[in-house]
Amino acid sequence: MPGGGTRRLVIDTATAACSVALLDGDVVLAATHELVGRGHAERLMPMIAALPDGGRADSILIDCGPGSFTGVRVGLATARALGLGWGVPVCGYSATALLAAMAQGDDTILAVAMTGGHGELFVQRYSRNPLTPIGTLASLLPADAANRTTEETIFGSGAEALVAARATGRAVDLLPDAAQAWRLPADLAKLPAQPIYGRDADAKLPA
């Protein structure tokens, strides 16, 4: 993510974690990451207020999902309100992109699996160097996800369920962390600040 010497407030409420960070380029000035379950609405503003200068920044970056419907809406509403009040731009990124950026390893292709709704998993594959999504986000039952992923290591909150469904591979349990948003390539950190629900009827992985 480009720096430009400007401060950016990052908000991530798309999962059971609630995290905020104040970044200056790739430097983390301050950050907080908590597991809150469904308590995003109660914790988010106090966490932002505890940042230096109350989190005041030149721009805002928000996790648009997929993930918790309520969490995503809370984060987006807060980001939009702060952006309007401060007169600064608000951009988004996807939760799967941040998880892919956080994923450690030498794999040229990696897969992210997040816990979704109705017993399904949000699955997205990425290539590294540069980090680029492969195909589209899919919401799949674990058995279907197992049949469509061949990567040895799966990253994300749904990794264990996917690996268990295919009985092979390694699961790395990860939740998005706002403090790691500096790892995002510029083109993956300028999405419209709109929710990504991940359950489009035609969303599927490439065959």
Instruction: Examine the domain organization and report whether 179 and 86 are in the same domain.
Output: yes
Instruction: Examine the domain organization and report whether 36 and 62 are in the same domain.
Output: yes
Neighbours of 138 (CB within 10 A): 25
Counting DSSP H helices and E strands in the chain, the numbers are: 5, 10
List, for residues 102-130, the tens digit of each pLDDT value. Answer: 999 888 999 999 999 889 999 999 999 89
Q: Model-level pTM?
A: 0.92
Instruction: Examine the domain organization and report whether 35 and 52 are in the same domain.
Output: yes
- Number of domain units in the chain: 2
Is position 84 within any domain?
A: yes
Instruction: Examine the domain organization and report whether 120 and 163 are in the same domain.
Output: yes
Instruction: Examine the domain organization and report whether 15 and 84 are in the same domain.
Output: yes
List, for residues 135-185, the tens digit of each pLDDT value. Answer: 999 999 999 999 999 999 999 999 999 999 999 999 999 999 999 999 999
Instruction: Examine the domain organization and report whether 27 and 84 are in the same domain.
Output: yes
Instruction: Examine the domain organization and report whether 157 and 78 are in the same domain.
Output: no
CATH code of the domain containing 157: 3.30.420.40
Q: What's the pLDDT score for residue 28?
A: 98
List, for residues 24-78, the tens digit of each pLDDT value. Answer: 999 999 999 999 988 899 999 999 999 999 999 999 999 999 999 999 999 999 9
Domain that residue 113 falls in = 96-172
Burial class (CB in 10 A: 0-12, 13-18, 19+), 46: exposed
Q: What's the pLDDT score for residue 117?
A: 87
Instruction: Examine the domain organization and report whether 74 and 108 are in the same domain.
Output: no
Instruction: Examine the domain organization and report whether 147 and 83 are in the same domain.
Output: no
Instruction: Examine the domain organization and report whether 135 and 182 are in the same domain.
Output: no
Is position 39 within any domain?
A: yes
Instruction: Examine the domain organization and report whether 89 and 180 are in the same domain.
Output: yes
